[in-house]
Chains A and B, each alone.
Chain A
Amino acid sequence: MSAITLPNRTPGKPGPAALISAMFATVRARLLIVSRYKGQLLNEIVTPIVLAAMPILLGRATAGDRASEVFLANTGTANYVGFMLIGSAVFVIVSNAFWHVANWLRWEMETGTLESIYLTPTHRVFVAAGTGIYSTSRSTVGAFVAYLIGSAIMGINPFQGDLLIAFLFILFGLIPLFGMTLLYGALVLKLKEANAMLNLMQWVVNFLMGVFFPITVMPAAAQFIAKLFPPTWMTNGVRSAMLGVGYFFNEWYFDLAVLWFFMLAAPMLGVWAFKKVENSVRRNEGVGQF
């Protein structure tokens, strides 16, 4: 045998530390790449403000001075400005977290680097997680800044209610989203297409999670579907903690427990589906073609 040394003792069976290290190397690589495309962060700050401004102004125009009164009767808070700013800020975090695996896969397919990743012994789920950590941190900072600026412009106090609980809802909400984003990524891996579906789903999610209105004004069937969707619990949790619109199960910890359940189930389902699709794609044309 020649004097070749292999990089690891049991080839292809990395320990958890090696996988976490690969994950954070992905975060770093992603940061470096995006820092070389300008204008991304600005886009992420401006979007939620504009998104929230539309219904706020519409509300003022149609209901005039009575806007907050009507809103109070329907939602439990008169602060419709805060309601919508929170809704759109959470929406930005959610939609970004929801699409990032799909977007990332599409991008790597088109640049041709996806096969390079598949050639390495790091499982793609960890690369996806690294991408997720990076992109979620970025959109969370963006959404938060947007919320602060939006509050200043609209003249409301951004810090109301129970901020810690609001934060918990965001944190717990993001993990089930990672599972859902893997499901969606699996679809993109199979169909090699993201845009048409992404656009459609964008509005379905927007509608279901109640960005601009409480889901209680929706028909019962739609409410039921909306509640199967973790971001709905996340948005409502944040609004309840900050504006007191009311939890679905009355107490914050019940709602948070529901998110806990999603937090375990969704990633398991996501990883399972992603691996399944990967194998079916490898059995046919492979991940490199699009």
Chain B
Amino acid sequence: MYGTVVVENLTKTYYTKQRKGLFKSEPRNVEALKGVSLDVKEGEIFGLLGPNGAGKTTLIKILSTLLLPTTGSARLNGYDVVTDDNAVRATVGCMLMGDRGLYWKLTGRENLLYFGALYHYSPADRKRRAQEVIDMLDLGDLADRSVETYSSGQKMKLAFGKALINDAPLLILDEPTNTLDVPSASELRAIVRQKNQQEGKTVIYTTHIMAEAETLCERVAIIDYGQMLASGKVAELKSSLGREHVTRIAGVIPAKAVEAVKKLPAVSQATLGSVDGMAELTVMSHNGTDTLARLIETLGQVGATIQKITPQDVTLEDVFIAKTGRTLAENTAVDTGAKK
């Protein structure tokens, strides 16, 4: 039971008001989750992948008992999130909203001790566990400095330490690398992997960065508009795209190129994004070389200037594109105006 998550048909609707000027407002419902089911097994790192606004945080908040579901059920470590919420809290370690969950006026150690108390460790055990976490994360001298003096990478590390304080078999991490630079992010991922491999902890890890999910997770679920688009082993998801070829074309590419390229018989999907300020067209097609010539010709006709063509391996991002016709960088939902 420990280290498992079973989610069945979970839905969540937020009831909010759409403001119309100073005094007027009308009710507006946001269906953040529309029937999500998951089955996370003991000892795996499970990725929840989706663009901004997909519903990842909403799902995580229900799993961590911060929110009640509208319908459906979820069991973590065998405990139901609605009827057994305290047992769920005691047996899950969470890192939500990154470093905002810490007391910045306290030192790292004081934070860990306080949360240790809230997880009902005896004073002696609290001290021991806090020291363990400090050693584990190599916090060293930092531990006795107030959190406000930490760099953002150090704060995130401590926030992760807080998730470890109750030594739970299941860790829930909501975009833990969100504000981190590349080296700090990979350091944190390495620690997550280590906790998983050495201590057998099950991890649920949300991200909107495909590459991150690919390097870290065994299985992923892709979620968009509150629905699961696909889930499974990373390799399986990729091979589900079958014989598809992925070609990335960078340069000066007008928007109308997308429609033109999609009309080509072998092309199944085309999306336009941008990388480092340069437009990048991602094209999926059934046969590579034959189509390439026609692609170049078509792009010439719409006035595009091609600077680089890269045939590529299929990535999780391509899986997302194949399912939605959008890149991950595009936001899912229209902003509801909800203040976060």
Q: Are A29 and B169 interface neighbours, CB within 8 A? A: no
Q: Are A112 and B100 interface neighbours, CB within 8 A? A: yes
Closest residue on chain B to residue A116 by CB atoms: B101
> Given that A113-B102, A121-B89 are known contacts, is A2 also in contact with B3, CB under 8 Å in the complex?
yes
Any chain A CB within 8 A of the CB of B103? yes
Q: Are A7 and B120 interface neighbours, CB within 8 A? A: yes
Counting contact residues on chain B (CB < 8 A from A), the size range is 35 or more
Q: Are B66 and A118 interface neighbours, CB within 8 A? A: yes
Interface size counted on chain A using CB atoms at 8 A: 47
What B residues does A286 contact at CB under 8 A?
61, 66-67
Q: Are B90 and A32 interface neighbours, CB within 8 A? A: no
Any chain B CB within 8 A of the CB of A157? no
**A286, B64: Cα distance in complex, Å:** 12
**A36, B118: Cα distance in complex, Å:** 22
Q: Are A21 and B199 interface neighbours, CB within 8 A? A: no
> Given that A29-B103, A29-B106, A284-B15 are known contacts, is A117 also in contact with B118, CB under 8 Å in the complex?
yes
Q: Are A285 and B14 interface neighbours, CB within 8 A? A: yes
Closest residue on chain B to residue A290 by CB atoms: B339
What A residues does B67 contact at CB under 8 A?
282-283, 285-286
Any chain B CB within 8 A of the CB of A199? no
Q: Are A3 and B200 interface neighbours, CB within 8 A? A: yes
> Given that A2-B42, A2-B169, A283-B68 are known contacts, is A122 also in contact with B120, CB under 8 Å in the complex?
yes
Q: Are B120 and A14 interface neighbours, CB within 8 A? A: yes
What B residues does A37 contact at CB under 8 A?
105
What A residues does B339 contact at CB under 8 A?
289-290
Chain B residues within CB distance 8 Å of chain A:
2-3, 14-16, 42-43, 61, 64-68, 70, 77, 79, 84-91, 94, 96-97, 100-106, 110, 113-115, 117-123, 125, 146, 162, 166-169, 199-201, 338-340
What A residues does B114 contact at CB under 8 A?
25-26, 28-29
Cross-chain pairs A/B with CB under 8 angstroms, 21 sampled: A1-B2, A2-B169, A4-B200, A11-B87, A12-B85, A14-B120, A19-B120, A22-B120, A25-B118, A28-B114, A29-B103, A32-B110, A36-B105, A36-B146, A116-B115, A119-B94, A121-B120, A122-B119, A283-B70, A284-B15, A289-B340
Q: Are B122 and A21 interface neighbours, CB within 8 A? A: yes
Interface string of A98-115 (1 = CB under 8 A from B): 000000000000011101
What A residues does B15 contact at CB under 8 A?
284
**Which has the most chain A C-beta neighbours within 10 Å: B15, B77, B87, B103?**
B103
What's the least CB distance linking B144 to chain A, in Å? 12
Interface string of A264-290 (1 = CB under 8 A from B): 000000000000000100111111111
Binding site secondary structure of chain A:
loop
Q: Are A4 and B120 interface neighbours, CB within 8 A? A: no
**A254, B2: Cα distance in complex, Å:** 56
Closest residue on chain B to residue A7 by CB atoms: B166
Q: Are B68 and A2 interface neighbours, CB within 8 A? A: no
What's the least CB distance linking A40 to chain B, in Å? 13
> Given that A4-B2, A21-B117, A113-B101 are known contacts, is A120 also in contact with B340, CB under 8 Å in the complex?
no
Any chain B CB within 8 A of the CB of A8? yes
> Given that A36-B105, A282-B68 are known contacts, is A12 also in contact with B87, CB under 8 Å in the complex?
yes
Q: Are B338 and A7 interface neighbours, CB within 8 A? A: no
> Given that A1-B2, A6-B167, A282-B66 are known contacts, is A12 also in contact with B88, CB under 8 Å in the complex?
yes
What's the least CB distance linking B127 to chain A, in Å? 12
Any chain B CB within 8 A of the CB of A200? no
Q: Are A25 and B101 interface neighbours, CB within 8 A? A: no
**A30, B78: Cα distance in complex, Å:** 35
Any chain B CB within 8 A of the CB of A50? no
What A residues does B79 contact at CB under 8 A?
11-12
What A residues does B199 contact at CB under 8 A?
2-4
Q: Are A21 and B66 interface neighbours, CB within 8 A? A: no
Any chain B CB within 8 A of the CB of A86? no
> Given that A7-B121, A29-B114, A111-B100 are known contacts, is A288 also in contact with B86, CB under 8 Å in the complex?
no
What B residues does A111 contact at CB under 8 A?
100, 103-104
> Given that A2-B3, A12-B84, A36-B146 are known contacts, is A120 also in contact with B101, CB under 8 Å in the complex?
no
Q: Are B66 and A116 interface neighbours, CB within 8 A? A: no
What A residues does B88 contact at CB under 8 A?
12
Any chain B CB within 8 A of the CB of A62? no
Any chain B CB within 8 A of the CB of A93? no
**A26, B2: Cα distance in complex, Å:** 30
What's the least CB distance linking B72 to chain A, in Å? 14
> Given that A11-B90, A119-B89 are known contacts, is A21 also in contact with B43, CB under 8 Å in the complex?
no
- In order of increasing CB-CB distance, the 7 nearest A-B pairs are A12-B86, A112-B100, A25-B117, A2-B200, A11-B90, A12-B87, A120-B118
Any chain B CB within 8 A of the CB of A89? no
Any chain B CB within 8 A of the CB of A215? no
What's the least CB distance linking A148 to chain B, in Å? 31
What's the least CB distance linking B17 to chain A, in Å? 11
Any chain B CB within 8 A of the CB of A5? yes
Q: Are A7 and B167 interface neighbours, CB within 8 A? A: yes
What B residues does A1 contact at CB under 8 A?
2, 42
Q: Are B120 and A127 interface neighbours, CB within 8 A? A: no
Q: Are A285 and B16 interface neighbours, CB within 8 A? A: yes
Any chain B CB within 8 A of the CB of A13? yes
